[in-house]
Structure 1
Amino acid sequence: MTKSVVDLHNQHKIARFLICIVNKIASLLLDLLQIDNRSTTDHDFSLLESKQQTWSFFDLE
């Protein structure tokens, strides 16, 4: 592979990683904003579900 192709591939991986981090932060902020609208048990359950979905970004190759 040429150097430019490798650089482009690395930039793509970094961009995907940053997008996943932004999505995780956004989902946590949404969870914090919705605490007032739900009971505690509902919030705990949905927070657990969202953690399971958002932490899957570590499977990036």
Structure 2
Amino acid sequence: MKVSVDPDLCYGSAECVHRVPSVFAFEDGYGAVRPGREDSEDDPLIREAAERCPSQAITLTLDE
């Protein structure tokens, strides 16, 4: 599963960082995917972070 954060949508609530700090980081006041974690396992915590992102800035794309 590919994980990405759209910096144009993110307004820096850091919800993702609090939920999955191993995948998400807080950089320059916004959420970001940690380098090397863009391709992550299908993890329910990552899905929850995406679903609960208040700005809907997290995109999950399933590998085909």
TM-score computed with the length of structure 2 as normaliser? 0.29
TM-score computed with the length of structure 1 as normaliser? 0.30
Q: In terms of Rg, which structure is larger?
A: 1
More helix by share: 1
